[in-house]
Amino acid sequence: MHPLPAPAPASGTTLQTRMETIAGGAVGSIATGAIAALSGGGISLIAGLAAVGGTIAALAVWQRIALPKIKIRLGDAPAAATLPEAELAALHGVPEQKPNFVPRDDDLGRVKGILLASDGPSVGITASRPGSGEMAIGLHGMGGIGKTELAVTLAHDDDVRAAFPDGIFWLTLGQTPDLLPLQASLWRMLSGSEPAFADAGAGQRVLLDLFKDRAALIVLDDIWRLEHAAPLAVAGPRGRLLTTTRDASLLTALGAREVSLDVLGEDQALQLLANWSGQDRDALPDAAKAVAKECGCLPLALALAGAQVKDGRIWTDVLAALKQGDLEFLDHPYGSVFKSLRASVEALPEDQATRYGELAVALEDVPLPVAAVARLWRQTAGLEPHTSRKLLQTFASKALLSLAGEGDAAAVGFHDLQYDFLRLNADDPRAPHRALIDAYRDEIGAAWARLSIDDPYLWPRLADHLLAAGWEGELRALLLDYRWLAAKLAATDINALLADYDRLPGDEDLRLIQQALRLSAHVLAKQPDQLPSQLTGRLRGIERPALMAVVDRIEREAPRPWLSPQTTVLTPPGGSLIAPSKATLVALECTVWTRWRCCWTDAARSLAPGTTR
């Protein structure tokens, strides 16, 4: 992607003249100052529009945002005095801005201008692709280049928030996203209610209808595959979709206009080094410039290097460590980041380096609660929670991870490349997952259904950790355990329960249970206590030992009283979802019965002798 050309002075003069005309000739000498009052990119917003979207688009944003601010400055009486402040959109799931962030004003203004003036609903941010031909919109770029940080800055920008009053919604996808829980999360963010999607296609249709009239911005961060992004690309005509990805071809498939990011310029790179090292930008030695070059001017690599200097290492030692890493990561596309990470980890005391390596227990693009880390480190090293929190803060100060939130909501986050580095350097990638699972077992025993309802992390993620630990057999047993199914449904929702079965896709017994749950999703979303009736009504009669055992266990362990169908009165797995008969609907509405079983058939529509309602 060729960089966008800066508007020529003549064009800028013409643009300002036309803007002055719109303002009734009142802009005068304060025009530039009023534009500068815009948060974020300032003049780059209008200049970017003139370069990318044309003068018409630039004027549209001028009228929408800049002109009211100019009129207020002019005291455009009396209306200016009564002009209300624009209401800022609520932020849903948007990350906090990282420390020591160096603004990329030109890129910010360029993307912001296109985002606010674009006729189409999609914008994407990518990395620079030299020689690329046509221009789309979206954030695209290589790992560590700053795509996510730019998207975070846009989401927090007051002008962007004012332009999308119905909310800004952030979802992080990664390489293996759970689409149903992500769709459910998006639904809850906007509606506040619990959804019930049979599948991702149904979720997409419902979300499209929900967002069709909303002036909302949906941010999809770190998309890797089109089939993952499409079910979440649900912005309506008044909304926008902002994506970040390393693969520019995905933006074309999504119909998004692309904005590509390049590495930082030398001045920005040195400023970032200065911020992280705690030194003055103008006082940086020549060795610091060599470090910036060795880091490839990638923000993540620069942050790691600067943090080492702040810890007391001298620039020449950091440079030597980076050069030594050249041999290990020769020709690796992210070698500059990996060698910075390696140098930072090797500078740690041995026990701290071991604790950092155990953070490979993190799941991709899933915040890891500080409480879970404390539980892990108590298991592996006997650390007290306060010691664990202090160590995590030390790692954050070295740019080895990020911390967000406070108290019980505090969580650890990793850039994709930090996460990859942890996995690549783990002697046994299964070990930290096994240690975390064992730490929980020490508290609750072998019965996972006894997991505390107040642990919001492990309920939706236990299946992932069991799989990463190499304990597929235990995961299969868990997904055939009625007590776990009922407990998880009560602690989370039907979409999270359905997602667990995607972890072992080749198992026929699990596939049939997942289908049964999916057929019952519309009921279980509202009445989770109907799980025993729904499963027995769909699985009874299927001649498979594992499923017969599930039905038998439900008969023995389901809380009494409950409705126990004695025949397959509901659509079994493998069939299509059909409208139930009147008798079945009546049966499903029965929630309080005596301990006697109720035998239903559509033909008889009668109760067994002695059974009362």
For domain 91-261, the CATH superfamily is P-loop containing nucleotide triphosphate hydrolases (3.40.50.300)
Which CATH number fits the domain 350-424, given the four candidates 1.10.10.10, 3.30.300.30, 2.40.320.10, 2.60.40.10? Answer: 1.10.10.10
Work out the pLDDT band at 248, boundaries 50, 70, 90.
confident
Q: pTM value?
A: 0.67
Per-residue pLDDT at 183 exceeds 80: yes
The whole-number pLDDT of residue 503 equals 93
Work out the pLDDT band at 110, boundaries 50, 70, 90.
confident
Going by C-alpha positions, the residue among 107, 185, 175, 172 that lies closest to residue 145 is 107
The whole-number pLDDT of residue 136 equals 31
The whole-number pLDDT of residue 87 equals 80
Query: What average pLDDT does range 417-436 have in this prediction?
Result: 89
Q: Using CA atoms of 239, 191, 166, 495 in order, give the dihedral in degrees to the nearest 10.
A: -50
Locate the domains of the chain by residue range. Answer: 9-82, 91-261, 266-346, 350-424, 446-557
Per-residue pLDDT at 535 exceeds 80: yes
Q: What percent of the chain has pLDDT over 70?
A: 73
Query: What average pLDDT does range 194-206 have in this prediction?
Result: 85
* CA–CA dist 325, 479 (Å, integer): 45
E strands, 482-592, are none
Per-residue pLDDT at 49 exceeds 70: no
Show the CA angle centred on residue 36, arms to residues 14 and 106, nearest 5°: 80
Work out the pLDDT band at 320, boundaries 50, 70, 90.
confident
Beta strands 402-404; 257-261: pairing state:
unpaired
The whole-number pLDDT of residue 492 equals 92
Mean pLDDT of the chain: 76
Q: 94 or 337, which is more confident?
A: 94
Q: List all residues 6 or more positions away from 296 whose beta carbon is below 8 Å from its beta carbon.
A: 263, 336
* CATH number assigned to the domain covering 266-346: 1.10.8
Work out the pLDDT band at 143, boundaries 50, 70, 90.
low
Query: What average pLDDT does range 31-46 have in this prediction?
Result: 46
The whole-number pLDDT of residue 120 equals 56
Q: 120 or 379, which is more confident?
A: 379
